[in-house]
Amino acid sequence: MPLRHDFRSRPPEQVRVVVFGATGYIGRFVTRELIQRGYQVVAFSRDRSGVGGRNRREQVVADLAGADVRFGDVTDAASIADNAFDQPADVVVSCLASRSGGRRDSWAIDHDATLNTYREGRRAGAAHFVLLSAICVQKPLLEFQKAKLAFESVLQQDSDMTHSIVRPTAFFKSLAGQVESCRKGGPYVMFGGGRLASCKPISEADLARFMADCLTDEDKINRVLPIGGPGPAMSAREQGELLFRALKRKPRLLSVPIALMDGPIALLEGLSQLFPTLQDTAEFGKIGRYYASESMLVWDSEHGCYDADATPSTGEDTLEQFFERVVREGLAGQELGDAALF
């Protein structure tokens, strides 16, 4: 089927957008934002979605009211074709991400399943693909980063279908893991004095608006788009101080040497050569170290450093507002879920 390149000249209610990963942390907000803007939204979901597969079909339909919710398996191209693309489509939005970050899961979801959505969407006439990637793929040391980059390359080589590759910095939820422990009196744990890594955290709502803009904004077409939230970059130490300010308590910060992670990771890496079942455990250790030591900012390869000023900002929601809200209302809706490391 010819690609439907005229979709930008049509009103939203005549534009069919298929969202994959629609029940995920970011995908829910992207789906709702597109519905609010008036698009015809098809939301693709597993039969049992959510943390541990706890959400049944009727719960998903209710949660994504206004979308045409379809169910199937993203690892099965035929399932995607039959259930998501039984009609011509204009745009594909992928918010898919591996749930664990393990090696096999990363390639199965971040690459293979996302490739399925691209190929089947293209066959259905979709002329634009919006990909939720991650800013950390700039320094690909982990399997999920390599898998994401491999798929990004497929999009970039397509001279007919346009794309927008969105690489956000840290999400608010990824910085919420210590809220409850600090609320209960524990210290805020950080590595290397809390100054090794910085980010410009972005809210799910601000990111969803940015991704929805990718359907129409000319300056977001055929671009890799790193994006962070408003305000300056914040180190782990500054994040901890902000959390205790929201708790109205004197900061209790515990710094741990980053080198303490290296020994166990090296041991697991060695053992995984003998016992393949330990490969994912070793990968999880590497993921933890990566996020403790690498900034979620634009990487300046010429100077070999992260550049906060070169990291674009968008939106209005701040981490301070987020911490104040979760201290007041709790973490409902901010569950870290299966992909707790992300």
Q: Tell me which residue has tokens 């999880």.
A: 284
Residue 287 has which token pair? 């993921």
**Stretch among 9-18, 226-235, 321-330 having the lowest mean pLDDT:** 321-330
More confident residue, 327 or 48: 327
More confident residue, 41 or 170: 41
Question: What percent of the chain lies above the pLDDT cut of 70?
Answer: 95
- CA dist 119 and 332 (Å) reads 36
Mode of pairing for the β-strands spanning 298-300 and 305-307: antiparallel
Packing angle of the helix pair 319-329, 236-247 (nearest 10 deg): 40
Whole-number pLDDT of residue 330: 81
Going by pLDDT thresholds of 50, 70 and 90, the confidence category of residue 340 is very low
Going by pLDDT thresholds of 50, 70 and 90, the confidence category of residue 49 is low
Q: Tell me which residue has tokens 């999400």.
A: 171
pLDDT at 338 over 50: no
If you average pLDDT over residues 135-151, what whole number do you get? 95
Q: State in Å, rounded, how far the first CA of the chain is from the last one.
A: 37
pLDDT at 24 over 50: yes
* Range ranked top by mean pLDDT from 97-101, 145-149, 176-180: 145-149
- CA dist 55 and 276 (Å) reads 32
pLDDT at 22 over 90: yes
User: Do you know the residue count of the chain?
Assistant: 342
Going by pLDDT thresholds of 50, 70 and 90, the confidence category of residue 1 is confident
Nearest to 293 by CA among 226, 235, 230: 235
Encode pLDDT of 95-111 as tens digits: 999 877 888 899 999 99
pLDDT at 150 over 70: yes
If you average pLDDT over residues 155-183, what whole number do you get? 93
Whole-number pLDDT of residue 52: 54
Residue 1 CB burial class (10 angstroms; 0-12, 13-18, ≥19): exposed
pLDDT at 50 over 60: no
pLDDT at 51 over 70: no
**Stretch among 68-82, 110-124, 221-235, 271-285 having the lowest mean pLDDT:** 271-285
Encode pLDDT of 258-276 as tens digits: 999 989 999 998 998 888 8
**Domains assigned to the chain:** 5-169+203-227 (3.40.50.720)
Whole-number pLDDT of residue 335: 54
Whole-number pLDDT of residue 222: 97
pLDDT at 164 over 60: yes
Q: Phi and psi (nearest 5°) for 18?
A: -105, 120
CB atoms within 10 A of CB 143: 23
Q: Phi and psi (nearest 5°) for 323?
A: -60, -40
**Stretch among 13-17, 163-167, 214-218, 275-279 having the lowest mean pLDDT:** 275-279
3-class DSSP string for the chain: CCCCHHHHHCCHHHCEEEEECCCCHHHHHHHHHHHHCCCEEEEEECCCECHHHCECHHHHHHHCCCCEEEECCCCCHHHHHHHCCCCCCCEEEECCCCCCCCHHHHHHHHHHHHHHHHHHHHHCCCCEEEEECCHHHHCCCCHHHHHHHHHHHHHHHCCCCEEEEEEECCEHHHHCCCHHHHHCCCCEEEEHHHCCCEECCECHHHHHHHHHHCCCCHHHCCEEEEEECCCCCEEHHHHHHHHHHHHCCCCCEEEECHHHHHHHHHHHHHHHHHCHHHHHHHHHHHHHHHHHHCCECEEECCCCEEECCCCCECCCCCHHHHHHHHHHHCCCCCCCCCCCCC
**Stretch among 98-102, 150-154, 178-182, 225-229 having the lowest mean pLDDT:** 98-102
Q: If you average pLDDT over every residue of the chain, what do you get? A: 92
Whole-number pLDDT of residue 339: 42
pLDDT at 249 over 50: yes
